[in-house]
Amino acid sequence: MRQEPFKLSIKVALGFLYAFLTFFSVNAQHCKHHFEGEVQDAEGSPIAFAGLYIPDLQIGIQADSSGFFHYHHICKQNYVVLVSAVGYKQGRFEVRIPYEAPLVYRLELDSANLLEEVEVRYSKRFLMSASSELLRGYEIDKKSGQSLAEMISGLSGVSSLKTGANIQKPVIHGLHSNRVLILNNGIRHESQQWGSEHAPEIDPTFAQKLTVLKGAMAMRYGSDAIGGVVLVEPAPMPLSKHLSGFVNVGAASNGGMHTATLQMQKHSGKVNGLAWRAHGSFRRSGNLHTPDYLLGNTGTREYNAAFALRKTFKKAALDVFYSIFSTQIGILSAAHIGNLTDLYEAIQRSQPLDTASFSYKIHNPKQDVQHHLLKLRYEKTMPVGNLEVVYAFQYNKRQEYDKHKPRGSRGNRPAVDYDLFTNLAEFVFLPKLKSKAWTVQTGLQAWLQYNFYTGGQPIVPDFVQHNSAVFASTRYEKNDWALELGLRGDLRYAKTFQSRRDSSFSNEFLYQNPAFNASLTRHLGTWGQIAASYTSAWRPPSMNELFSDGVHHGSAAYEKGDINLKPERAHNFSLDYTFQGKYFSFHSSFFYNKITDFIYLKPQFPAILTIRGAFPAFAHTQTSVFMRGVDAEATVPYREWKYKVQASYLRVTDKNSQYLVGIMPNRLTHGLAYEAEREGKKICLVQVEIRQTWVAAQRDVPPNSDYSPPPKAFMLWEAELGCFFWLKNQEFKLALSVQNALNMRYRDYMNRLRYYADETGRNVSLRLKIPF
C-alpha cells in the first residue's frame, strides 16, 4: 500500500495567555509567559511524543502521550516553532507571545494537504514584502460596535472618509472608494462603491483578523485596487467537538449605543467531519452629540447574521458561507440641503438650526442597505498541486431616502433604489514544485455584474458588466533573499441601458490591460528586513465617472461624467524597512505613486443654473498625479511599559504642481501603554493605554476649491483599560475606553459633513466578552 502523504495538524490551544501587542524581548530568565497546545494529525488524533523546538531560544521539548505540550517561562516575542514526529513531515508555525487566550491555533504541516490555511498562508507568503498593517483578536474585540473603516483608521497610513460619524470608508495612502478593494472572507466586496457616503456593508465582528495591504500588490485580488486592499478574515473553522463560541456585549455613552454579538461553533468530531459556525450581531445607536449639542437624526440600526459550514473529505474540503448585513442609517438632517445658498447659510451658522432632542428614531433622510453574500469554496489536493474553486454571489440593495419624499408618491419611498447582483468565479492552482525555493500561484477569475435602479434621476445607469482575469505569481527564496513577481491581465466589458423619457439608448465599453508587480526582500536575520517593490496597476473608469449628471443632496454640487474617460494607471514604488531591536523597534514605509490619467472632479465655470438656484459644477477629468509619503512607527518597550509613536505624511500634486482636494491631512499619534501581568487565573490582567493623536490642518489644497477653508488642526486624547478575569472558571474580558476624552470641539477635513456640524464629543464605552 502506498503511503499516504502524512497529514499532521497541531492544535495549539494557547491557554491562560495574555495578549495585546507585540513586545520585543526582555531578559529571558525572568519572562513569565507560557503557552501550551496539542499536536494532532489531520484526523484529530493526538500524536504522542511529538518534538517541538524553538530555534531562537534553542529550547526543545517533547509532547506527552496525549500530544500535549507546554512551554514555560518564555518572553514576549514572535517565535518560530518547529514540530516533528516520527513518520510525519516536519512542520513549522509562528506564535506571537503573549497571545490571545484561549485561541485555537491550527496549522497543517504537509503542504500537499493544506486545506484550511491555503489562502492565509499563501497570501502571507506572497505578500511578505508588501507594506501591511494588521488588527487581530482582542484588538478587534475592543473596538466592537465600530464600523470596519473606523476600526482600521488608526493604523499607519490608513484613515477614513466620513459622511457624519456613521458612514465611514477606508482611505489608504489618500485613495479610497473604487481604488480600495475590500475582501470579505476572500471575496471581492461588490457594492455601490461610487459615493463617498457608501460605507462598506461588512460586519467586522465576524472577523478575527483585519489586514490592510498598502498599494496594489495583490495580483490575485484585482488590479483596480490601486490604493490598497483590506482583508477581512474570519477565524479558521473549529476542530473541537465541544460547542464553543463567545458572547460580546457593549454600550457607549455617546448616542446610547448598545451592541451584542453571539457566535457558536462546533465540529462533528469525526474523521472527515463537518464543522459549523453561526454568528449574529446587533447594533443600535441614537442621536450622537458633539460637545455642545445633539445631532438630529444620526441614529443607526444594524443587524447581521452569518453561517459557515465546512466539510472535509479525504483530500478535499468544501466550504459554504452565507452572510447578511442589514443597516439603517440616519443622515444628519441639517446636512440635507437644496442648493448653494443653503450650504452657505449652514457654514455661517456655528451649529445646525434643528438641534434635536435625544432619540433612537431614524427619520428621512436615511439609508437602508442590505448586503447578502453566498460563497462556495472547494479545495482539492492532487499529486500535481492544490486546486481551489470559488463561487460567490452577492446581492447589494441600497435605498436612499431624501428629506423630501418623492413628489407625487404616497408613503415613504426611497429617492434612489439600487440593486446590484454580482456573480464571481475563481480557480486558483498552486502547483507542487520539486524545488522548495519556488512557490507559484496561478488562477482565473471572472465576475458578472448587473445593476438596476428604480426611482428618480440616476447617478449610475442600469448596466451589465463582465470582467475576466488571469493571474500568476511566483516567489523565489534563496538564503536571505526573496524575489516576488506577479502578472495579471484583465478584460472588462460593460454595457449600459439608459432611458430618458421616451428614448432609450446604450453605451458599450471594453477595457483590457495588464498589471505587474515585482519585489525584492532582504531578511536581516533577527534584526528585521528591507524590501523594495514596484507595481504597475490600472483601473477602468467607474460608472459614475462615466455617467454622473446631476446634483447630489448634501454635496450641493453638480457633477458631470464623461464617457470618453480612459483607464488610469498607477506606478507605485515603495521601500519598506523594519528594524527589530531589543530596546527599540522601528518600521518605515516610503512610497511614491505616480498615477497617469487619474480621474478626479475638476471645478467648471460658470456655475450651473437650475430651478433650485445656481450650483458649482464639476466634471470628471483626467490628469497625472504624484503621491508620495511615508508611514513610520517606532516602539520603545521598558519592562511593563511601552511607548509607541506613529506618523503618516502624504503629499499629492498633479502634473502642474497643483494640489488636489480631499487628501488626508498628516497625522501623528503617540501613546504609552502599561501591562501588569499576573500568573494564573485568579487575578485580572490590567492593561492601560493612553494615546494622543494630532491631526494637522490640510494646507495643501487648491485655491478656491472649497466652500470653506479646511478645518484647523486638532488634538485628541483617548484612553483604554483592559482586564481579563475569571469567575468560577469562566473567563471574562472587559474593556473600558474613552474617545475624545477631553470633549474637544473640532471638525475633520475628511468628514463631508464638516460644513454643518462639529465632530462627536466624548464617548465612554464598556465592552464585555465572554468566551465559552
To the nearest whole angstrom, how small is the minimum distance from the Cβ of residue 612 to other proteins?
6
Would you give the binding string for other proteins spanning residues 220-259, x where CB under 8 A is met? Answer: ----------------------------------------
Which one, 387 or 532, has the nearer CB to other proteins? 387
Nearest by Cα to 510 from 497, 486, 493: 493
Region of 31-39, 286-294, 453-461, 760-768 interacting with other proteins (CB under 8 A): 453-461
Using CB under 8 A, which of 351, 498, 578, 653 touches other proteins?
A: 498
Which one, 123 or 449, has the nearer CB to other proteins? 449
Question: Which cell goes with 500?
Answer: 430618458
Region of 4-12, 19-27, 129-137, 607-615 interacting with other proteins (CB under 8 A): 607-615
Check binding of 454 to other proteins (CB under 8 A).
yes
Which one, 5 or 613, has the nearer CB to other proteins? 613
Which one, 238 or 458, has the nearer CB to other proteins? 458
Which one, 360 or 393, has the nearer CB to other proteins? 393
Q: How far is residue 122's CA from residue 388's CA, in Å, rounded to a whole number?
A: 12
Distances (CA, A) of 625 to 130, 655, 705: 22, 6, 17
Question: What is the C-alpha R_g of the chain?
Answer: 26
To the nearest whole angstrom, how small is the minimum distance from the Cβ of residue 496 to other proteins?
9
Using CB under 8 A, which of 110, 201, 233, 462 touches other proteins?
A: 462
Nearest by Cα to 310 from 230, 365, 378, 231: 378
Question: Which cell goes with 297?
Answer: 437624526
* Partner residues linked to 769 by β-bridges: 248, 733
C-alpha 545: how far from its chain's center? 25
Q: What angle do CA 139, 143, 146 make, to 5 degrees?
A: 145
3-class SS at 222? coil
To the nearest whole angstrom, how small is the minimum distance from the Cβ of residue 304 to other proteins?
23
Which one, 203 or 462, has the nearer CB to other proteins? 462
Region of 96-104, 458-466, 651-659, 759-767 interacting with other proteins (CB under 8 A): 458-466
Region of 149-157, 331-339, 694-702, 764-772 interacting with other proteins (CB under 8 A): 331-339
Using CB under 8 A, which of 384, 437, 510, 563 touches other proteins?
A: 384
Q: How would DSSP label each residue in 100-130?
A: -TTEEEEEE--GGG--SSHHHHHHHHHTTTS
Classify burial at 611, counting beta carbons within 10 Å of its beta carbon; exposed 0-12, middle 13-18, buried 19 or more: exposed
Check binding of 616 to other proteins (CB under 8 A).
no
Using CB under 8 A, which of 316, 634, 686, 696 touches other proteins?
A: 316
Which one, 282 or 378, has the nearer CB to other proteins? 378
To the nearest whole angstrom, how small is the minimum distance from the Cβ of residue 237 to other proteins?
18
Check binding of 336 to other proteins (CB under 8 A).
yes
Question: Which cell goes with 399?
Answer: 435605498
Phi, psi of 550 (to 5 degrees): 170, 180
Region of 183-191, 248-256, 266-274, 452-460 interacting with other proteins (CB under 8 A): 452-460
Which one, 526 or 610, has the nearer CB to other proteins? 610
Region of 130-138, 337-345, 674-682, 756-764 interacting with other proteins (CB under 8 A): 337-345
Check binding of 5 to other proteins (CB under 8 A).
no
Check binding of 380 to other proteins (CB under 8 A).
yes
Residues numbered 557-586 forming contacts with other proteins, rule: CB under 8 A: 558, 560
Check binding of 112 to other proteins (CB under 8 A).
no
**Three-state SS annotation for 502-568:** CEEEEEEEEEEEEEEEEEEEEECHHHEEEEEEEEEEEECCCHHHHHCEEEECCCCEEEECCCCCCCE
Q: How far is residue 99's CA from residue 316's CA, in Å, rounded to a whole number?
A: 30
Check binding of 57 to other proteins (CB under 8 A).
no
Distances (CA, A) of 218 to 122, 184, 417, 431, 518: 11, 15, 33, 19, 11
Q: How far is residue 475's CA from residue 435's CA, in Å, rounded to a whole number?
A: 12
Check binding of 523 to other proteins (CB under 8 A).
no
Check binding of 307 to other proteins (CB under 8 A).
no
Which one, 471 or 558, has the nearer CB to other proteins? 558
Check binding of 272 to other proteins (CB under 8 A).
no
Check binding of 354 to other proteins (CB under 8 A).
yes
Which one, 387 or 690, has the nearer CB to other proteins? 387
Which one, 278 or 464, has the nearer CB to other proteins? 464
Sheet holding 33-41, edge to edge: 68-74, 33-41, 8-14, 103-108
Count other C-beta atoms under 10 Å from residue 327's C-beta: 21
Which one, 502 or 508, has the nearer CB to other proteins? 502
Check binding of 412 to other proteins (CB under 8 A).
no
Check binding of 404 to other proteins (CB under 8 A).
yes
Q: What is the DSSP letter of 657?
A: S
Q: How would DSSP label each residue in 258-306?
A: EEEEEEEEEE--STT-EEEEEEEEEEEE---B-SS-B-TT--EEEEEEE
Region of 108-116, 497-505, 716-724, 728-736 interacting with other proteins (CB under 8 A): 497-505
Nearest by Cα to 205 from 772, 601, 769: 769
Would you give the binding string for other proteins spanning residues 417-436, x where CB under 8 A is met? Answer: ----x-x-x-----------
Using CB under 8 A, which of 78, 253, 339, 621 touches other proteins?
A: 339
Q: How far is residue 716's CA from residue 147's CA, in Å, rounded to a whole number?
A: 20
Amino acid in position 99: Y
Check binding of 551 to other proteins (CB under 8 A).
yes
Half-sphere exposure of 81 (CA within 13 A, CB side): 29
Check binding of 608 to other proteins (CB under 8 A).
yes
Cβ neighbours of residue 723 closer than 8 Å, sequence gap 6 or more: 684, 685, 686, 687, 733, 734, 735
Residues numbered 357-376 forming contacts with other proteins, rule: CB under 8 A: 376
To the nearest whole angstrom, how small is the minimum distance from the Cβ of residue 391 to other proteins?
5
To the nearest whole angstrom, how small is the minimum distance from the Cβ of residue 376 to other proteins?
7
Q: How far is residue 21's CA from residue 28's CA, in Å, rounded to a whole number?
A: 18
Check binding of 407 to other proteins (CB under 8 A).
yes
Using CB under 8 A, which of 450, 527, 584, 638 touches other proteins?
A: 450
3-class SS at 35? strand
Q: How far is residue 557's CA from residue 398's CA, in Å, rounded to a whole number?
A: 22
Check binding of 491 to other proteins (CB under 8 A).
no
Residues forming the site for other proteins (CB under 8 A): 316, 318, 334, 336-339, 341-342, 345, 353-354, 376, 378, 380, 382-384, 387, 389, 391, 393, 403-404, 406-409, 421, 423, 425, 448, 450, 452-458, 462, 464, 497-499, 501-502, 504, 549-551, 558, 560, 608-613, 615
